[in-house]
Amino acid sequence: MSGSARIHPTALVEDGAVLGENVEIGPFCTVGANVELGEGVRLISHVVVAGHTQIGAHSVVYPFASLGQPPQSVHYKGEPCRLIVGERCIIREHVTMNIGTAGGHMETRVGAHGFFMVGSHVAHDCVIGERVVFANNATVAGHVTVGDNVFIGGLAAVHQFTRIGDGAMIGGMCGVHFDVIPFGLMMEGHPGLRSLNYTGLKRRGLSLQQRRELQGAYRELFYGAGTLAQRTDRVAEHFGENANVMRIVEFVRTAGKRRLTVPADADDNGAEPDAA
30 has which bridge partners?
12, 48
CA atoms of 128 and 143, how far apart (whole Å): 10
Please say if 125 is a catalytic residue.
Answer: yes
Given the residues 20, 46, 86, 125, select the one marked as catalytic: 125
Given the residues 142, 171, 184, 200, select the one marked as catalytic: 142
Please say if 100 is a catalytic residue.
Answer: no
Q: How many CB atoms lie within 10 A of CB 151?
A: 22
Burial 174-208 (b: 16+ CB within 10 A, else e): bebebbbbbbbbbbeebeebbbbbbebbeeeebee
DSSP codes of every residue in 159-188 = -TT-EE-TT-EE-TT-EE-SBB-TTEEEET
Given the residues 124, 153, 166, 270, select the one marked as catalytic: 124
CA atoms of 249 and 153, how far apart (whole Å): 25
* Residues with a known catalytic role: 124-125, 142
